[in-house]
Amino acid sequence: AAGAALAARATEAKAASASVVLPAGADVAAVTRAALAAAAKEQRFKKEQKELTLKEVTLCVEGADAASAAAAVDAGRAAANGVILARELVDAPPNSATPQALADVAVMLAERYDCLECKILEADECEKLGMGSYLSVAAAGAPPKFIHLTYTPPGGAKGDPVAVVGKGLTFDSGGYNLKAGAGSMIELMKFDMGGSAATLGAAAAVAGAAPEGPACHFIVAACENMVSWNGMRPGDVVTASNGTTIEVNNTDAEGRLTLCDALVYAQRQAGAKKIVDIATLTGACIIALGDDIAGVFTPSDAMAGELAAAGAAGGEPLWRMP
């Protein structure tokens, strides 16, 4: 809150620089993250862009040694970079944030950070892995891109691998069960890739901070849910990569069809022992929890506790659902 307030006040005053004195024990990383994220403004798609006046923020921390404060600032900057990237991806219109564009971002991250390795699977490679569920959703849209980023700590991986899997529907028309009528929110369906944006943002944040620990896999099954002669139809039966057959009763329930193949991949190809998947069960969660709280579904009490603690630390409220 302090960092965001600092950036907002400085921006309002059109100040080129701003300073704040923090008490001993303050969370310097959190203040840094909030200040940088709040100062970033989305202007890429405007005809005229306003120059951002705030160029420098100085944090003065009572009683802190320079080395630890600098390390905290670096950690906060890495987290802010991830937040800003995620925001930019969600903000981008669907003709810009395409499956190919998400793949390009993943490649860019791997080129930027030595600790990241990137693999992009094309449709034929996904077909060889039996991803009939994912590919059925992708059939009517732009070429799908299955994205796999692997983070390996600079000192080597320690412990069981983990994975973050993000829903990557860059536009969701609903398919033949078309989103139509009042309340369908079809004009907002660029945000159906919010899970993939969070996943790629997390990859940027983790790679920037370079923490010790296990290898972490960031996986996105990117595609569009569109309408075409070869698109998925209500009543189709598709086969996922673990052999499960699925009858499609509603083509607008497409997210689970893409995520199931991504989750199988995370287990079989990446060897992940813990997996967090980030989806957009939008309407149901808004009814249950409102606009600002994410629902958590897991049978593991331990994992629910870890996620709740991480959410509290990052300012992202979570609520475990039954």
For residue 281, what are its two tokens? 């069960």
Q: Is 213 left (phi over 0), alpha (psi -120 to 50) or beta?
A: left
Please give the pLDDT value at position 42: 86
Class of domain 2-86: alpha beta
User: Which pLDDT does position 301 carry in this prediction?
Assistant: 96
Determine the pLDDT at residue 92: 97
| DSSP, residue by residue, 216-284 | EEEEEEEEEE---TTS--TT-EEE-TTS-EEE-S-TT--HHHHHHHHHHHHHHTS--SEEEEE---HHH
Identity of the amino acid at 159: G
Catalytic residue among 33, 47, 55, 179: 179
d(CA 4, CA 80): 12
Write down the pLDDT at residue 1.
66
CA–CA separation, 105 and 23 (whole Å): 38
The whole-number mean pLDDT for each consecutive block of 10 residues of the chain, a chain of 322 residues, reads: 81 86 90 90 87 85 88 95 97 98 99 98 99 99 99 97 98 96 90 97 98 98 98 98 98 97 99 95 84 94 96 91 86
Nearest C-alpha neighbor of 64 from the set 55, 72, 56: 72
3-state secondary structure of 149: strand
For the chain, which residues make up each domain, given as ranges? 2-86, 94-280
Q: Could you tell me the fold of the domain covering 94-280?
A: Aminopeptidase (3.40.630)
Beta-strand pair 162-172/274-278: parallel
> Which listed residue (9, 14, 128, 256) is catalytic?
256
Identify whether 44 is a catalytic site residue: no
- Whether 256 sits among the annotated catalytic residues: the reply is yes
